[in-house]
Amino acid sequence: MPLRVAAVDVGTNAIRFLAVELDGEVPARTLSDKRFPVRIGHGVYSTGHISPDAASAAVESLTTVAASLKELGVEKYRAVATSAVRESSDRRRFLRSVRERTGLVVEVISGAEEMRLVHKAVRRRLLLGPDRWILVELGGGSLEVALVDADKVHWCETRAMGAVRLRELFAPGGTEPRGFSRIVAEYVGSLRLPPHAREAKTRGFIATGGNIEALARLAAPAHDAGAPARIPLPALRKITEELAKLPVAERTRFYDLKPDRADVIVPAALMYVYLAELLHAEELIVPGGGIREGIIEDLGEKLTARREPGVDDVIEDAAALGRKFSFEEGHSVHVARLAVQLFDQLSSLHGLGRRERRILAAAAVLHDIGDFVSLKSHHKHSAYLIARSELPGFTSTEMFLVANVARYHRKGGPSLAHPQFVLLSPADRDRVRRLAALIRIADALDREHRGRIRRISLLLRDSGFVITTGEKDDLLLERWALEKKSDVFRKVFGVDMTLAASSEAADG
C-alpha cells in the first residue's frame, strides 16, 4: 500500500476506464474515470465482424487509456472485452491490433465472468447478507441474470439480448420504425428464465448497467447521492412509456441523455420492466457500479492477498453448472475432491500449477454431465456441453481444456486422431494428458458412486505408486476399475498406480 490499479471495460456501447489508488481506505481514491463513446458493437450482431470505423475509434481511445496508465503510474491493470468482441469473427485481429498499437492486452471474458465481477462490485455497495437476490446485468449485447448472496454467485444465465443488439435488430437504419417499442416488447416477451430463477425465494431485484443508472436518475431522482437507488415498478413503467413516445433527438434534449444512451434506453427499459414483472418484483434496486468496479475489487483482493479464488470456489461454481444438466452431484464432487488430493500429492511428478489444479477440479465435477444427452458415449457429450458453457474465472480457452480433460475420464486416452484434442497447442495437449491421467484414477476410486474412499495417501514403491485408504474392505470393484483406467497414467508418467487397504500397505 498504496497500490495504483486500473480497469478497462471494452463494452458493446462504450469503452470505460477507471484508475484508483488502494490505500486501505474505503472507498478507494479515484485517479481517473473516463467513458469513451465508442460503439464497437455497431454492426457486429448483423455482420459478424467489427467495422473498420469502430475498430479505429476503439484503438484511438485505448491509446489514450494506455497513456493514462503510464502517466498515473498504474502498477497493475486488467482490460476486458465483452459481448461484441466475444461474438465477432475477427476478434483476434482486433485484439492483436490493439496490442501492437497501444501495448494493452485485452482479455475476452464470458458472461459468467462478467457476472462474477459485477457481483464483486455490487456487494461492496449493498449489504447482501445471507439472503439471496436476483442480480441482472444488462449490457449492449447480452443479458446476465444470476442468483447471488454476499458470498457468491449461485447460478448465472446469459442471454444474447442486449440493448444495442435489440436496437440494431429492430431499427437497423438508425430510425425507429412505427411501433418500435411494441415490437421490442413482444420480442423481449419471448425471454424465458428457468424455474429456479422464477420461483426462488429472494430478497429483491438488483439491476446494474449504464441504462438502468440513467433510468434511476429519471425515475427516482430523490434518492441520496452515493446510496443505492430504488425504482418502484410503476415509476419505471411510466418513464419507459414517456421515453418511448419521443424521437431519439428529443429524448436527448428533454432528459439530458447522451446520444448513445438515448437511442438504446427504450429497449433496455422494456427489458427491465419485463424482467421485474416476470420475477414479481415491486421495485428495482440500483446500487451503481459494474464490471470496472468489480475488476478493481478483484485486483485489490489478489494484490493484497485478502483472498484468491481457490479450488473450493471452482467446485461450487462447476456444481451449479452441473445442476442444469441434472448431474449426479454427490459422485461428481467426490471425484473432484479425490482428483485434487492426487494432484497435490503428485505435484513433483506432474509439475503443474494452480491453473491446472482448477482445470482438473472443474473437469472432475463436470465429467458426467453428458449423461443428460445420452448414457452412450457420454464422455463425448460432456466435452461438447462443457466447451459451450461458461464458468466464472475461466477463459474460453480454459473451458476448452476442461472439456478435453473431462472427455478422457473414460474409454481411450488422448489421441491425435481426436479432432478436439488436435486443436490444442502442444503445451496444452501435454497438460490434458497429465490431467486426464489423474481424473481417470479419481473416477475409478469411486466406481460404485458411494463415496467410500474419502482420504488417500500415496506411497512410492519399486513397482510404482500405491494408493492407501482408511478402508479395511478389500475394495475389489475399485481395484478392478483402477486397473482398467490407470493405463493413461502409466503411459504418461511411466509408472504404475495400484490400490491397497491400509493394512496391506503397512505389510508392504
Same-domain pairing of 282 and 421:
no
**Residue 459 pLDDT level (bands cut at 50, 70, 90):** confident
Same-domain pairing of 333 and 428:
yes
Asked if residue 487 belongs to a domain, the reply is no
For 72-126, give the DSSP string: HT-SEEEEEE-HHHHH-TTHHHHHHHHHHHH---EEE--HHHHHHHHHHHHHHHS
Same-domain pairing of 9 and 55:
yes
Q: How far apart are CA 60 and CA 64, in angstroms?
A: 7
Asked if residue 489 belongs to a domain, the reply is no
Asked if residue 478 belongs to a domain, the reply is no
pLDDT, average across residues 221-234: 82
Same-domain pairing of 81 and 153:
no
Angstrom distances, CA of residue 21 to CA of 7, 9, 30, 292, 337: 12, 18, 6, 14, 39
pLDDT, average across residues 86-99: 95
Q: How far apart are CA 508 and CA 504, in angstroms?
A: 6
Domain count along the chain: 3
Same-domain pairing of 72 and 139:
no
Say what the pLDDT of residue 26 is.
64
Same-domain pairing of 316 and 386:
yes
Cis peptide before 27 (omega within 30 of 0): yes
Taking alpha carbons only, the member of 57, 50, 53 closest to residue 91 is: 50
Q: How far apart are CA 319 and CA 340, in angstroms?
A: 15
Same-domain pairing of 102 and 145:
no
Q: Which domain holds residue 384?
A: 311-451
Pairing of strands 29-36, 15-22: antiparallel
- pLDDT score of 95 more than 80: yes
**Domain's final residue, options 407, 427, 451:** 451
pLDDT, average across residues 333-343: 95
Q: Tell me the per-residue pLDDT of 260-280, one tens digit each, with 9 for 90 and over.
A: 999 999 999 999 999 999 889
Same-domain pairing of 339 and 228:
no
How many percent of the chain have pLDDT more than 90? 68
CATH code for the domain in which residue 48 is found: 3.30.420.40
**Residue 473 pLDDT level (bands cut at 50, 70, 90):** low
Taking alpha carbons only, the member of 452, 490, 454, 451 closest to residue 474 is: 452
Same-domain pairing of 334 and 402:
yes
Same-domain pairing of 216 and 317:
no
Q: How far apart are CA 171 and CA 181, in angstroms?
A: 11
Asked if residue 457 belongs to a domain, the reply is no
User: Contact, 318 vs 339, CB < 8 A?
Assistant: no
| Segments in 190-305 forming alpha helices (H) | 195-198, 210-219, 233-245, 248-255, 259-262, 265-278, 291-303
Strand order in the sheet with 464-469: 456-461, 464-469, 496-501
pLDDT, average across residues 222-242: 88
Asked if residue 468 belongs to a domain, the reply is no
**Domain's final residue, options 434, 451, 468:** 451
CATH code for the domain in which residue 256 is found: 3.30.420.150
Q: Tell me the per-residue pLDDT of 362-406, one tens digit each, with 9 for 90 and over.
A: 999 999 999 999 989 999 999 999 999 988 888 888 999 999 999
Asked if residue 465 belongs to a domain, the reply is no
Same-domain pairing of 278 and 176:
yes
Say what the pLDDT of residue 331 is.
94
Asked if residue 507 belongs to a domain, the reply is no
Asked if residue 51 belongs to a domain, the reply is yes
Say what the pLDDT of residue 242 is.
96
Pairing of strands 143-148, 456-461: unpaired
User: Is the Cα torsion angle 38, 39, 40, 43 positive or negative in sign?
Assistant: negative
CATH code for the domain in which residue 412 is found: 1.10.3210.10
Q: How far apart are CA 386 and CA 368, in angstroms?
A: 10
This prediction has a pTM of 0.75
**Domain's final residue, options 235, 270, 286:** 286
Same-domain pairing of 340 and 238:
no
